[in-house]
Structure 1
Amino acid sequence: MGSAGEAYLFEAVRTPRGHGGEAGALAGVRPVELVGQLLHALGERGLDPTAVDDLVLGCVTQVGDQGANVAKIAALWAGWPEAVPGLTLTRFCASGLDAIGTAAARVIAGFDGLIVAGGVESMSRVPMLADRGAWWMDPEVAERTRYVHMALSADLIASLDGHGREALDAWALRSHVRARAAWAGGHFARSIVPVRGADGEVLLGQDERVKADLSVDALAAKPPVAATLASADPAGVEAGVRRIHARYPELGEGGLRHLHSRATAPAVVDGAALVVVGSLERGRALGLEPRARVVGYAAASVEPVIMLTATEPACRRALAQAGRRPGEVELFEINESFSATVLRTVRALEVDAERVNVHGGAIAMGHPLGASGAILVGTLLDALDERRSVQESGLGVATLCAGAGLGTAVAIERC
C-alpha cells in the first residue's frame, strides 16, 4: 500500500476499431488477444508489468469469449506475471471509463500504486445482448423497470428538445469529417497500436468504419432505426412507445418522432483500449512521465425511460470535485451514443460545441461498448497534449451515458 494522494495518467493505447460482423478485420481476433497486444505495446513503451498492481477492464457482454474474467485471462494470455490480478467490471457503455475511475480512486486512496485500466469488446464474436439480461428478456422485469430500447430513448430526447432530422444528420456528418481529418493529420498516431495476426501481418491499422464519401443527401436517405426495430421486435417497440407516453404525456399523440437512423447512431465495432493510472511516486520510479492528473470521477443516474441523459449530472459532479465549472473545460469527449444525446449534453452544460469531440466520435469510428470510455480518455489526453501552446485551462472531461439511465464522467487536468 502506498500513501494517499493523487492519481496520474501516464500512457494510453488503443487498437483501431474494426467493423462488427463476420467481414470485419478483427472478427477473427479473440478479445484476450486484443488486450494482450496492447499489454505488449505498453511493455515496449517502458512499462514494467511486475510493477502493476492490477489490470481492471470494462466489458459489457461478459459471456462466451468475454466471460470468465477476461481481464485476468488476458493478462495470462499476454504472458504477464502471474502475480498481476485482474478485474472485469460493467456499467454498460460506461464500463471502460469506470475502470479508469475505479483505478484512480484506488491510487488516490493509497491502496495501489499503479494500475492498467481500460476495456475491451468484440461485438463480432459476442453480440450485444448475448448475455440475455432480465432487463430486456423477462417481460415482468422489463415492465416494472420501464425498459425501452435505447434508440427510442434517443428519439424521445430529440423530440423533447425540438431537433429535426437535419440537425441529427449534421452532427453525424461532422463526426465523420472530423474523424477523417484526424486520421489524415496523424492525431491518433501516438495511441494507436495496429492489430497483427499470428504471422505478424497487420490486420488493421486504422478505424475501419470512417466513411470518406458521406454526404447530407446520403444521410437523409437512411430509414429510421425505429422502423427496423419494429420489424424485428414489434411487441418490444410497442411496449417501449407505451412506456414513453406514460412517462412523458406532454408529448401527446404523434409527439414522439422517429428521427434517428443507423447513421446517427454509433457503429457496431470491435476494439480495446488501455490507460496507465498511478501515483506520481510509482510512475517516476519506473521512468514514466505524467501526462494528466485525475481531478474528478463521478457516476450519476436518471429515470430509465429517457435513459441517455445522465452525462450532464455526471459531468457536473466530477467537475465539482475539482472545484470547476463546465465553462472552464478546454475539451470534452462525449460518447456519441446518438446524435441527440450529444446535443442534449452540450445544451445542458451550456458549452461551446467546438470544444466537443474535436477529432470526431463514435458515430464515425464506432462504439466498442466496454472499451469506449478508455478510448475517450486516450483521445482526450492526446488532444490536450496537442493544445499546450494554447495556454488554456488544460482541463478535459470524458463522459458516456449508459443503459438504465446511467452515466459516468472523468475529469483530468493536463500536466
Structure 2
Amino acid sequence: MSNKQLQDAYIVAAARTPIGKAPRGMFKNTRPDELLVHAIRAAVAQVPGLDTSVIEDAIVGCAIPEAEQGLNVARMGALLSGLPNTVGGVTVNRFCASGLTALVMAADRIRVGESDAMIAGGCESMTMVPMMGNKPSLSPHIFDRGEDVGIAYGMGLTAERVAERWKVSRDAQDQFALQSHQRALAGQQAGEFKDEIAPYTLVERFPDLATGEVRVKTREVSLDEGPRPDTSIEGLAKLRPVFANKGSVTAGNSSQTSDGAGALIVVSEKMLKQFNLTPLARFVSFAVRGVPPEIMGIGPKEAIPAALKAAGLKQDDIDWIELNEAFAAQSLAVIQDLGLDPAKVNPIGGAIALGHPLGATGAIRASTVVHALRRRNLKYGMVTMCVGTGMGAAGIIERL
C-alpha cells in the first residue's frame, strides 16, 4: 500500500434552492431533477473561472431514489444542467444523511488523489415521491430477532422512544420548535440565507376559460417556505400527538416534509492554483455510527465525538453546528447528552422551521455552514443528523 499523505479537499462553491413545503407548497409541480439542475448551475456560477470539463463526477444524495428522482438522478442532473458529457454521475442513499455522504465521498476522492474536481449534492421531492417509496417492502426477517424490530418503527415512534428515555418533556419540545421558527424568521429578515440560496423562477400555467388560452404566470422565490410568523407556544401546545396516543411528538415539534436541492463543488489544491480559485472552506472530517434503530434520533451523540476525534478537535472548537431537527425530542436529547452549547446549534433555525427534504438536507445544511462561517468570521462548523434504521452522521468543515 502507498504511504502517500492525504491531500486537502476544498469547497469552492455552495448553493441551494429555497426549500418548499410538501405536498402543497411552491414546488408541488416542480420535479426534483429540475431542482437539482438549478442547484448545480448556481454552484457552477459561483466559480466562473473554473473550466467545467475538469469536473470528473457528480455524487448526489437522494433518500428515495425512484420515480421522478430515479434513474440515477445524479447523472440526469449533471447532463440536464449543461455540464460536459464527460462528467459522470452516481446517486447515493444514506436516508437523511445522503447529501452529507455525497459531500464526504466527493471530498474523499480528492483527498486520496483520485480526482481534482467533483460536484456533491442532494435532491428530494417529498411531494412527488412518498416517504417510504411507491412500493415499501421490509424484510420479514426483521421480526426474527427482538433487537431488529425497531427497524419497522416509524420515525415518529422512535422520537417518542427518545423523548421517554431522555426525559424530554412536551413543553421543552414545543419551546424548541418555537425557537426554530423565531431564529429562522430572524435569519430571513437579516438576509442570512442570501449567499446560499439561488432564487428559483416558478412558471405556472392557468387555463383562461373565457378565451380558451393558457395564461402563463412567473414568480421568483428566494426564501424557504416553512418559517411561520404566527407560530406561538399556545398554538403548538394545542396540537395533538400524532405517533403515540399519550405521546409528546406532534406535527408542530417535528421537521417539515419538504422539497429542495443543494450542490457544492469540491476541488484539490492543484485546481485552486490552476484556475486561481478562492476556497470557501476545507473539508475536515466525517464519522458515521450506528445506534439501536428504535432510538435512531440519538445517532449524532455517537457520530459527533467520532468526527471530532478524527479531526483532532474538541467540542468547544466548533463554532457553528447544523443539527438536523428531525424531531425536537431527538435534537434536545443530543444537545443534553453531549452538553452542546444551544447558542451554537442552529443559530438561524433548523428543519422544524426550514424544512427537511431528506436526501437533500445534508448538502443544503453544508451550504448553510460554509456561508455562515464566512459571514460571521468563524473557524469550524459541523453538519450532523440522525439517520433512519439507527445511525448518526457528522461532518466538520473549516473556513479558510
TM-score exceeds 0.5: yes
Paired with 2:11 and 2:217, the residues of 1 have a C-alpha distance of 30
Task: Provide, for residues 7-40 of structure 1, a one-character-per-residue CA deviation record: whole Å limited to 9, x for no partner.
Answer: 111111000011111x321111111111111222
Give the structure 2 partner of residue 263 of structure 1. 252
Please report how far the alpha carbon of residue 299 of structure 1 lies from its aligned counterpart in structure 2 after TM superposition. 1.0
Deviation at 1:139, TM superposition (A): 4.5
Please name the residue that 1:214 is paired with.
231
Opposite residue 404 of structure 1, the aligned amino acid is T
Among 98, 101, 111, the residue aligned to 2:101 = 98
Deviation at 1:327, TM superposition (A): 2.2
Question: What is the CA deviation profile of residues 317-339 of structure 1, one whole-angstrom value per residue up to 9, with x for unaligned ones?
Answer: 11111111212211111000000
The equivalent residue for 1:194 is 199
142-151 vs 188-197, which deviates more? 142-151
Offset of residue 264 of structure 1: 0.7
Q: Which amino acid is the alignment partner of residue 375 of structure 1?
A: I
Contact kept in structure 2, 1:71 and 1:88, CA below 8 Å: yes
Name 1:77's counterpart in structure 2: 80
**CA deviation vs aligned residue, 1:350-372 (integer Å, no higher than 9, x gap):** 22111100000000011000000
Q: Counterparts of 1:181 and 1:287 in 2: how far apart (Å)?
A: 36
Structure 1 unmatched ranges of 5 or more: 231-256
Which of the residues 162, 167, 178 maps onto 1:162?
167
Q: CA deviation at 1:3?
A: 8.5
Instruction: Name which of structure 1's ranges 120-129 and 320-329 shifts more when overlaid on structure 2.
Output: 320-329
Whether 1:178 aligns to 2:183 is yes
Give 1:142 deviation, angstroms.
5.3
Q: What is the rounded CA distance, in whole Å, between the counterparts of 2:389 and 2:334 in structure 1?
A: 17
Shift of the alpha carbon at 1:213?
A: 0.8
Equivalent residues, number: 379
Query: In the alignment, what sits opposite 1:342?
Result: 331
CA distance in structure 2 between the partners assigned to 1:87 and 1:316 by the alignment: 29
**Counterparts in 2 of 1:296 and 1:5: CA distance versus 1, 3 Å:** same
**How far apart, in 1, do the equivalents of 2:62 and 2:182 lie?**
29
Which aligned pairs between 1:286-365 and structure 2 lie closer than 5 A?
286-365=275-354
Mapped contact 1:26–1:204 kept (Cα < 8 A): no
Write out aligned runs for 1:12-411 (5 A): 12-21=14-23, 23-45=24-46, 46=48, 47-135=50-138, 138-141=139-142, 144=145, 145-146=148-149, 147-197=152-202, 201-227=218-244, 258-388=247-377, 394-411=379-396
For the residues of structure 2 that align with 1:410 and 1:214, how far apart are their CA atoms?
31
SS in structure 2 at match of 1:120: strand
Distance in 2 of aligned mates of 1:183 and 1:143: 49
Q: 1:163 to 1:124 in 2, by over 3 A?
A: same
Structure 1 contact 152–258 (Cα < 8 Å) conserved: no
CA distance in 2, matches of 1:312, 1:284: 39
Q: Which moved more, 1:169-178 or 1:288-297?
A: 288-297
On the 8 A contact 2:13/2:44 being kept in 1, the answer is no
Aligned residue for 1:320, secondary structure, equals helix
- Please tell me the root mean square deviation across aligned C-alpha atoms, in Å: 1.8
The residue aligned with 1:248 is none
User: Unaligned 5+ residue runs, structure 2?
Assistant: 204-215
Question: Deviation of residue 200 (structure 1)?
Answer: 9.4
Q: Which residue of 1 aligns with 2:206?
A: none
| TM-score of the pair, normalised by structure 2 | 0.91
- Structure 1 contact 269–366 (Cα < 8 Å) conserved: yes
Q: Which has a greater percent of strand?
A: 2
Asked if the contact 1:134/1:141 (under 8 Å) is kept, the reply is no
Q: 1:27 to 1:143 in 2, by over 3 A?
A: farther
Contact 2:255/2:351 (<8 A) preserved? yes
Moved more, 45-54 or 273-282: 45-54
Scaled by the length of structure 1, the TM-score of the pair is: 0.87
Kindly indicate which of the two structures has a greater share of residues assigned to helix: 1
- Residue type of the alignment partner of 2:381: G
**Mapped partners of 1:335, 1:262: distance in 2:** 16
Distance in 2, Cα, partners of 1:140 & 1:221 = 40
Identity %: 36
What letter corresponds to residue 149 of structure 1 in structure 2?
Answer: G
Deviation at 1:98, TM superposition (A): 0.4
Counterpart CA distance in 1 for 2:308 and 2:89 is: 29
Cα distance in 2, alignment partners of residues 131 and 24 from structure 1: 21
Letter matched to residue 385 of structure 1: R
1:306 offset after TM fit, Å? 1.1
CA drift of 1:192 comes to 0.6
Q: For residues 114-153 of structure 1, give each alpha carbon's deviation from its aligned partner in whole angstroms, at most 9, with x where no partner exists.
A: 1110100011111110153433xx5443564312111111
The answer (yes or no) to whether the contact 2:254–2:352 under 8 Å persists in 1 is yes
1:167-214 Cα distance to aligned partner (Å, 9 max, x none): 000000000000000000000001111122458933522111110111
Note if contact 1:326-1:349 (Cα within 8 Å) is conserved in structure 2: no
Cα distance change, pair 139–223 in 1 and its aligned pair in 2 (3 A): farther
Q: What is the match of residue 253 of structure 1?
A: none
- Whole-Å separation in 1 of the counterparts to 2:134 and 2:295: 23
- Larger deviation: 3-12 or 170-179? 3-12
Give the 3 Å change call, closer, same or farther, for CA 75–202 of structure 1 in structure 2.
farther
